[in-house]
Amino acid sequence: MKYGLLYYKDTDNIGDDVQTYAQERFLPHVDYLVDRENLELFTPNQKEKVKVIMNAWYIHDVLNFDISPYIEPLYISMFLKRIPYKGGITIGTDYLNNNVLESLKKYGPVGTRDVHTKKYWIV
């Protein structure tokens, strides 16, 4: 089995790094680094399934939340919060389109890290 480590490369928030470190402690080994902000672009070398612990706030770029078909996600701790963003959009829930909801249902149950986020789930 191959394992990917979710990370956020452009962070100024030490919490992002701590989450990545915590994930790594639960993995038997790390075969790939998976950029949290470009999940749809991830392609492993052998085009195989890669298990990835998905514990993060998703997502700074609301257009990039579609999950690569090579990622087998374990949604243990999602966080959603609607905040204003550039271009007059909000981030935090705007990416919850039908494709994303189907992925969450397919790989559910979905863990949340706060009561606010839990309110979004009927999954």
Q: What is the DSSP secondary structure assignment for residue 36, as one 8-state letter?
A: G
Does residue 123 form part of some domain? Answer: no
Q: 1 CB contacts (<8 Å, ≥6 apart)?
A: 51
What is the spatial distance between Cα 110 and Cα 74, in angstroms, rounded to a whole number? 8
Does residue 63 form part of some domain? Answer: yes
Does residue 48 form part of some domain? Answer: yes
DSSP string, 87-101: GG-EESSTT--HHHH
Residue 34: domain span: 2-118
Does residue 18 form part of some domain? Answer: yes
* Residues 65-102 pLDDT 10s: 678 999 999 988 877 666 666 666 665 566 666 777 77
**pTM for this one?**
0.78
